[in-house]
Structure 1
Amino acid sequence: MVNIRSLDPSASPLDYYGSELRRLREEAGLNQGQLGEIVFCTASLIGQIETAKKVPTRRFSEQLDAALMTGGVFTRLVGLVLRSQLPNWFQPYAEMETKATCIYSFQAQLVDGLLQTAAYARAVLGARTDDDLDGKVAARVERQRILDRDTPPLVWVVMGEAVLHQEIGGGAVMRNQLAHLLAMQKREWVKIQILPFEAGAHMGLMGSFNLLRFEGDPDIVYTEDFVQGHMTADPAAIKEGSLRYDHLQAAALSVEDSAALIARVMEDRYGEQPEPDGRTLA
């Protein structure tokens, strides 16, 4: 049975997307099943997106634009939809992240969100709840699109060595995640350093933080606690954050030695890992 739940298009980007999908589908003279056949999905999925019960992906949106000949309407909308799936307290930071020319990150426990694979992100985000996990993962992956721009920001990440050993999502997920780090490391605008266990006490013991720099605007320091994130452009905080980050970079392995350590841990700790279907990752 076709779901005819009424939507308020102004309620959220997801509601607006759903209402536009229903309107343009009906204008094209297609029912949900017919459109589903064209874009290779079920009528149920079309219905769930039209009623704002499921978050669309970028690929789905591109297929919709091609099927309904909408001139890129859904491809443009999906960015707003996915950003709206981020926690409310995180959205201002995500907006600033898209404008930054340099992103410096210290991560003590996890791979930086801009460098996470979808499977690793799913394991991290699913540690607390499974609610709308697909949408949360899609939103995190969407943030990474800034790395594919013609002029991407410089992304420089220092990670504690523990990040490589903390098994998130299982061995296969970790092997693929470390392989992804090595692949990203080859990009001109991505630099990854590992802070080795041997560094001992260091300037990041108080926790992870990010420094964002902009063209013509004040720098920003971003930190998180277990409730929410905090941004500040206070000069004293910027000075302290910059000092701490400089010390962390100096204490970390070089970019080249970091890549060698990542590769070594990938092979020694995670080795050959079976995929969910039983195949083996070489």
Structure 2
Amino acid sequence: MVNIRSLDPSASPLDYYGSELRRLREAAGLGQSQLGGIVFCTGSLIGQIETAKKVPTRDFSERIDAALMTGGFFTRLVGLVLRSQLPTWFQPYAEMEAKAAYISTYQSQLVYGLLQTPAYARAVLSVEHSDLLDEMVAARIERQRILERDRPPVLWVVLDEAALSREIGGREVMRAQLGHLLTFVNEPWVQIQVLPFKAGEHAAVMGSFTLLRFDSDPDLFYAESYDMGHMTANPEVMRERSVGYARLQATALSVEDSASLIARVMEERYGHGGVA
């Protein structure tokens, strides 16, 4: 039976997406199964998205735009929908991250979200979000689109060596993840340094943090705990953490030596003949 659950378009971006999909589908004189046949999915999936029970993907949105000739409406809207699937406490940071001109981050345990592969992100998120895993992975990958802009932000990542050694998702996932990091070697807007174990105590022993800089807005410091994020524009905090980050960059391996270490770990630890 066709699902005719009514939606309040103002309730959320997902509800708005669903109500507009239904409205434009009906305006085109198509049933759910008919539209599903055109965009290569089931009528049931169309119904689930129209009733906000399923989160649409970017690929689905592009196919819907082509089928209904909506001029890219759903492709533009899906970014907002996916961002709304992020944890509520994380959404303010994601919004500012998307506006930043310069992102500097130190990551003590994991690869930074903007550089994660889908498989690595799925393994990380499955620990706490198994019930909404597909949606959470899609939302994380959507964040990465800022690196594909004509004028992307400058991204500088200092990655603790622990993130290379911590096996997330299994050896194949880690091998692919480290290989993905190496694809940025010749990307001028993305710089990756590894802070080696031999550095010992360092300026960020208290944990991961990120500095966001903007063309016209105040700079921001961001760090997070188990279930919440802390973001501030306090000038003293920014001054202290900026100096700390500069010290981390000076202590870390050079970009070139970092790439060599990543490649070595990828082959020696996660290659087919690597350690178990």
Range into which the TM-score falls when normalised by the shorter chain: over 0.9
Shift of residue 171, structure 1, vs aligned partner: 1.0
Q: 2:47 — aligned with what?
A: 47
**What per-residue deviation string (whole Å, max 9, x for no partner) do you get for residues 229-280 of structure 1?**
011010110011111101111110000000001011111111139xxxxxxx
Within the alignment, does 1:102 sit opposite 2:91 as a pair?
no
- Is the Cα–Cα contact under 8 Å of residues 126 and 133 in structure 2 kept in the other structure? yes
* TM score, norm. by length of structure 1: 0.95
Q: Take 2:272 and 2:31, find their aligned partners in 1: how far apart are those partners?
A: 47
Q: Take 1:12 and 1:216, find their aligned partners in 2: how far apart are those partners?
A: 30
SS across alignment from 1:78: helix
Q: How does 1:1-282 map to 2 (within 5 A)?
A: 1-272=1-272
Q: 1:279 — aligned with what?
A: none
Aligned residues: percent identity? 71
Q: Take 1:179 and 1:48, find their aligned partners in 2: how far apart are those partners?
A: 36
**What per-residue deviation string (whole Å, max 9, x for no partner) do you get for residues 73-128 of structure 1?**
10111011011111111111111111111000000000000100111111111112
Amino acid at match of 1:215: D
**What per-residue deviation string (whole Å, max 9, x for no partner) do you get for residues 135-172 of structure 1?**
11111111111101111110000010010111111111
Higher mean C-alpha displacement, 82-91 vs 106-115: 82-91
Q: Take 1:175 and 1:40, find their aligned partners in 2: how far apart are those partners?
A: 33
SS across alignment from 2:53: coil
Q: Take 2:84 and 2:36, find their aligned partners in 1: how far apart are those partners?
A: 25
SS across alignment from 1:184: coil
Amino acid at match of 2:109: Q
SS across alignment from 1:169: coil
SS across alignment from 2:264: helix
Amino acid at match of 1:150: D
Amino acid at match of 1:246: A
Q: Take 1:218 and 1:164, find their aligned partners in 2: how far apart are those partners?
A: 33
Number of residues paired by the alignment?
Answer: 273
Runs of 4+ in 1 over 4 A off after TM superposition: none
Amino acid at match of 2:187: R
Higher mean C-alpha displacement, 27-36 vs 230-239: 27-36
Q: Take 2:10 and 2:50, find their aligned partners in 1: how far apart are those partners?
A: 14
SS across alignment from 2:231: strand
Amino acid at match of 2:47: G
- Is the Cα–Cα contact under 8 Å of residues 218 and 233 in structure 2 kept in the other structure? yes
Shift of residue 11, structure 1, vs aligned partner: 0.5
Shift of residue 216, structure 1, vs aligned partner: 2.4
Amino acid at match of 1:107: Q
Cα RMSD (Å) of the superposition?
A: 1.0
SS across alignment from 1:249: helix
Amino acid at match of 2:22: R
Q: Take 1:266 and 1:103, find their aligned partners in 2: how far apart are those partners?
A: 26
Which ranges of structure 2 fall in alignment gaps of 5 or more residues? Answer: none
Amino acid at match of 1:190: V
Q: Take 2:218 and 2:18, find their aligned partners in 1: how far apart are those partners?
A: 38
- Is the Cα–Cα contact under 8 Å of residues 110 and 163 in structure 2 kept in the other structure? yes
Amino acid at match of 2:189: W
Q: Take 1:218 and 1:80, find their aligned partners in 2: how far apart are those partners?
A: 24
Q: 1:277 — aligned with what?
A: none
Which ranges of structure 1 fall in alignment gaps of 5 or more residues? Answer: 274-282
Q: Take 1:53 and 1:181, find their aligned partners in 2: how far apart are those partners?
A: 35
Q: Take 2:24 and 2:64, find their aligned partners in 1: how far apart are those partners?
A: 10
**What per-residue deviation string (whole Å, max 9, x for no partner) do you get for residues 163-213 of structure 1?**
011111111111111111000232110000000011011111100000011
SS across alignment from 2:184: helix
Shift of residue 218, structure 1, vs aligned partner: 1.5
